[in-house]
Each structure stands twice: as C-alpha cells, then as structure tokens.
Amino acid sequence: MAEPKVRDGTVSDRGITFFVALALFAQESTWNFYDNQVPALLREHVSSAAVVGLLMGADNLVGMFVQPWIGNRSDNTRTRWGRRMPYIAVGMPLAALIFLLLPWATSLAALVAVMFLYALVANSTRPLAESLVPDFIAPERRSRATAAVKIATSLTIIVASLISLLVVDEHPKGAFVIPAAIMLVATAVLVAKVRDSRSPGYQAAETSARTDTKARQVLGELVRDPDRRRLLLLVTVLLFGGAWFASRSLITPYGMQALGLTRGEAGGLTLPSGVAYLLACYPAALAAERFGRLRTMAAGMVVFVVALAAGTVVQTATGTVVVFCVAAAGAAAFTINAIVALWNLAPSSRVLGTYTGLYAVTWYLGGFGGPALIGAVVDLTGWAGMLLDIAVLASLAIAVIARLQHLERRTGATPAEQEIM
C-alpha cells in the first residue's frame, strides 16, 4: 500500500483511515496477546478458573468508566496538536511499557497491579484513535473507513495467535516485546503524520462557543431529549451486542453439549466465521452508502436471526459452521455501521469522542449481560435451544431498530443525518 499523502498536517480520507487502522491494529495486538497469555500468568498464582475469569474481565469494567471520561476530556481539549493526538502520543507508549512489565510480575499482587495499570492506560487510548474517523471524514464516507479499521483489528487475532504459537514457548517474556514494539512504532508514525487540529471536526469545535461539556451533561441531554433516536440506537447496540457476545462466548460448551464434539473441535467452530466476517466488512459499508445505514443494519440483524434459528433445526458440526458464517456476515452489517450512525446523530462535532465512549460502554454492557442472560435461559431449557435463545434476543434488537426507523421517517432529518436512513 502506498504511503498516504500528507501535506502540512492535512490528511486525506484514505490517509486517516490508514493511520487509524494502524493505531487500532497496534492497540488490539496487545489486547489480544493479553487475552491469550495473561490467563497463563495468573494460573501460576491461582488455581481457580473463576478467579482467573474475574480478573481477566476486570479490564472491561475499567473501560466502562475510563472510555467515556477520556472521550469527553479529549472533546474539551484544545492544543496545536489537536484534541486526540496529545493523549495518544502519551498513552500508547505508556501502555506499551506497562505491557512489558506483565511477565516480570513475580507475585499475584504485583501482576494484578500491573494488569490494572495496563487496563487503565490502554482503555484511555481505545476511543481516541477511533474518534479520529468522524473528526476527519465526512458522514457519508465513514462506513468505508470503519470497515477498514474493523478488518485491521480483526487481523490482530491472527497476529496474537502466531506470536503465541511461534515465540511464547521459547521466549515467554520476550514474546511480550513484539506487541509492545508494534505499539511504539505505530505511535511514532501517528505523531509524525497526524495533527488532528487540522481536522474538520476540530475546526468546527474550535469555532463554536468555547464551553466545556461534561460527560454527565451529554448523557443527561441524550436521556432527556424528546428525540429518542440516539437512545434507541444505543438500546439496539446493547441488545445486539448481547446476542453477538453470547453467540461467541458460549459456542464451545454448546458444541460439546448439543453436538457431542470434543473441547478442541467445539472451540474451532467459529474460526471460518471469522473469515466470513472479514469478507463481509467492506460490502457492508458499500451497502450502507447505497441503501442507508439503518436499513443495512436491520437487514444484517435479520440475516443473523434467521441463520441462528436455522442452526437450531440443523444441529450438526458442519451445519453449525455454515450457520455461523452466515450469521457473522449479517453481524458485520451491524457492527460496521452502528458506530457511524451514532456519530452522525451526535448533536455536534464537539461531543464525538464522548459518543464513541458511550458506544463502547453500551457494547461492553451487552457483552457482559448477553452471555449471562442466555446462560441462565440455557440452565432452564437446555443447550439444544441455545441458538434460538440468542435469535430471540437479537429479534428484540430488530424491534427497537424498527421503532428507530419509524421515528427517522417521522422526524425531519438534517442533511448530515439523512444518509443513515
């Protein structure tokens, strides 16, 4: 890929897409390697799987508080570097250095402390790089950029797996250097090439009235606003996020209990669907530009629901793999466009970072609550109906987005909002 052209700090749409993808690729490389290898470090100190799971899930809890706060703080920041880059320039290298300390922690207390520090700092950079997309790119082009970013972050699963496979056994501590180095290199590139003070979003915020907007004010305005579209969109994200995470996190026990597979065989059921998701990302962006984001999201959710419902009827290993491939392609239509739709409904460019944080919190809440809810239903009804249970939860999301589409037709949309219909 040719290096994006940058003149006097101004970055093209294609250029900023590349830089955001690079930043998130670097961040997610460390996160995926963290998920792969930190449980093994914890197991050196504790034997309880429940404790390991609790400690591994704590980063999401930290993120629920940190991400909206840092997004809002960056919205209210004004420097010659911009409002996102100062935090990225400091946060990413600091996260990389803390990441390097993980395998050197010699006690459980030290390891947990390093994990907390990493979660605190790394979560503070997550929404900032993604917020550069709406800062630089016009609403009608944001889905393509988001698709490229999603593809880049999805590839980090492969990168983390390769590092684990090829390096960890021989160099268990040195392996942590590779993701950290990727993070440092990406930071250097961003610092050298990107000044978000030149972005249209920053310029619009700079020319508006200079009053800081607190995160609680943004949330209060969203809840009280008689226009319920933004709130309904977040409810849709919560419900569909719950269905998506349930379909991923519970598939291994489902394969073992409902399909009679071994643990390894059940764990591999979703691998082809990861490829299907990657292949569907860019077409999902093009479909949104052609037919509208809400329509594309709704269609993708319908595909997801129908596929999982069909999986309840055809309960074989091969059938489940096919079902999950189709469902993942449908899910891509939602995940690529939902954050863009929320950006485009934001009341102004001054709160784009805060809205990115709100989206992340809602998605994580779905990831926390969805598997727990579906697991409780499975306890009552059995594993055989799990895919149908998830389909029902996703159907609730479809009902909410149908209501949102009704409001969209009834409410006069601004030109910036009309393209999400």
Domains annotated on the chain, with CATH: 10-207 (1.20.1250.20), 215-418 (1.20.1250.20)
Confidence class for position 299, pLDDT limits 50, 70, 90: very high
Confidence class for position 302, pLDDT limits 50, 70, 90: very high
Give mean pLDDT, residues 95-102: 95
Provide the angle, in degrees to the nearest 10, between the axes of the packed helices 215-224 and 49-75: 90
247-262 tens-digit pLDDT = 877 777 888 888 888 8
Give mean pLDDT, residues 69-75: 85
The single-letter DSSP state of residue 259 is S
- Structure token digits, residue 85: 């880059």
Provide the angle, in degrees to the nearest 10, between the axes of the packed helices 251-258 and 317-345: 160
CA distance 336 to 332: 6
Query: Is residue 223 over pLDDT 80?
Result: no
165-222 tens-digit pLDDT = 678 778 888 889 999 999 999 999 999 888 888 888 788 777 765 555 676 777 777 7
**High-pLDDT (> 90) share of the chain, %:** 26
Confidence class for position 366, pLDDT limits 50, 70, 90: confident
103-134 tens-digit pLDDT = 999 889 999 999 999 999 998 888 888 888 88
Query: Is residue 420 over pLDDT 80?
Result: no
Instruction: Report the range of poorest mean pLDDT among 39-43, 87-91, 155-159.
Output: 155-159
| Alpha carbon 54 to chain centroid, angstroms | 20
CA distance 360 to 238: 10
The pLDDT score that the predictor gives to residue 417 is: 47
